[in-house]
Amino acid sequence: MKKLLVLVVMAVFALTLTACWPGEIGVVTEFNANGSGTRTIILEVMDDTLSSTAIINPDDPDQDEGKGAVLNDKHIDGGVIAIQSWLEDNAPDFMTVEDAKVDGYVRTFTMTYSFDDFDDFLDKYEQLINLSPNMSWSDFDEDEKPSLEISGGFTKTLTFKESRTMLEASFDWAIDGIWNDIYNEADLAGFVTKADISVLAGYTVKIGDEELEEIRYYDPEAADGDFTGKVIFVESNNFELSGEFANTGLIVGLIIAGVAVIGGAVFLVLKLKK
C-alpha cells in the first residue's frame, strides 16, 4: 500500500513538473523601393512527440528551478501538427500557408503574403484584424496604424512605422481560433489561458540595406521570481526603420531627357550648318 501511495504521489508530482511553452511568433517584412514587398509570419512550437527525451524548459536550462519539461502535444486535439490543418482551413485567400517544417523538436508553421504597394499592405492588414472576433480595424486610432513615408530625389528614403498593438492584433484571428478550436481548454483550465499560448519572439523589417531586428534571447541575469535567468522576448512597443534606394526611375528619366536635349542640339547645329 505504501509503495502504491508513493507511486501515485510521484505520478502527480511528475505531472506538476510539466509546462506548456508558448508558440513563438516571428514576423519578417521586406519593402521594395516602391512600397511593395512581402510579410512572413512564423510560428514555432515545441513538440514533445518529436523528442525521445524530455524537452528542457528554456527558462530553466540548468534544471535547478523545478519548472519541468515542456509538454505541448497532449493539450492540442490532434497534437501540435493539427495547427497546420487549422491554418490551411482558416487563413485568408491572399496568404500562402507553407508546409510545416521540423527542426529537432520544433515544428515551424509559416504564412506569407505579398503586397503590391503600401495601400495594398494596409488593405490586407485591415482584413487580418477584421478576421478577429474580438476587434476591428476601426477600433484603432490613426497614429496606431502602420505608416510608410517615401521621400527624396536621386536617393529615395522609405520610413516605416508600426505599433506592437496593431501587429499583435493582425494575428489574433489565428491565436483565438487555435485556442478555441483545437486546444483542450479543460486540461488547461486554471493555469493556462489564451494569452499564454503564444508570444512575439521575433520582429524583423528590411528596407534596402537597412534592417531592424529584435529576436528572443536568454538572459542569465534577468530576474525570474526567486531565481535568475529567463528568455527575453520582443520588448519594444513601437518599431521604426528608414532605408534608402537609388531612385533609378528618376535617374533613367533624367538620362533620357539629357540625351534627347543633346540630340536635339546636335540636330539643330547640323541643320544650321547646311
| Pairing relationship of beta strands 96-97 and 106-115 according to DSSP bridges | antiparallel
What integer is the mean pLDDT of 251-266? 46
pLDDT tens for residues 51-77?
999 999 999 999 999 999 999 998 999
157 SS3 class = strand
pLDDT at 251: 40
What integer is the mean pLDDT of 155-181? 97
Looking at residue 100, the DSSP 8-state letter turns out to be: P
pLDDT at 215: 98
The percent of residues in the chain predicted with pLDDT above 90, rounded, is 77
pLDDT at 248: 56
pLDDT tens for residues 181-197?
999 877 777 788 999 99
pLDDT band at 45 (very low <50, low <70, confident <90, very high): very high
Question: Does residue 124 have a pLDDT over 70?
Answer: yes
Three-state SS annotation for the chain? CHHHHHHHHHHHHHHHCEECCCEEEEEEEEECCCCCEEEEEEEEEECHHHCCCCECCCCCCCCCCCCCEECCHHHECCCCCHHHHHHHHHCCCCCEECCCEEECCEEEEEEEEEECCHHHHHHHHHHHHHCCCCCCHHHCCHHHCCEEEEECCCEEEEEEEEEHHHHHHCCHHHHHHHHHHHECHHHHCCCCCHHHCEEEEEEEEEECCEEEEEECEEEEEEEECCEEEEEECCCCCEEEEEEEEECHHHHHHHHHHHHHHHHHHHHHHHHHHC
Beta bridge pairs of residue 244: 157
Instruction: List the domain boundaries for the chain.
Output: 2-273
Q: How much is the pTM?
A: 0.84
The chain-wide mean pLDDT, for the chain, equals: 87
Beta bridge pairs of residue 204: 28, 213
pLDDT at 193: 92
The residue behind cell 540595406 is: 209
Nearest to 27 by CA among 131, 141, 137, 146: 146
pLDDT tens for residues 199-224?
999 999 999 999 999 999 999 999 99
pLDDT tens for residues 21-35?
999 999 999 999 999
What integer is the mean pLDDT of 75-81? 96
What integer is the mean pLDDT of 118-122? 98
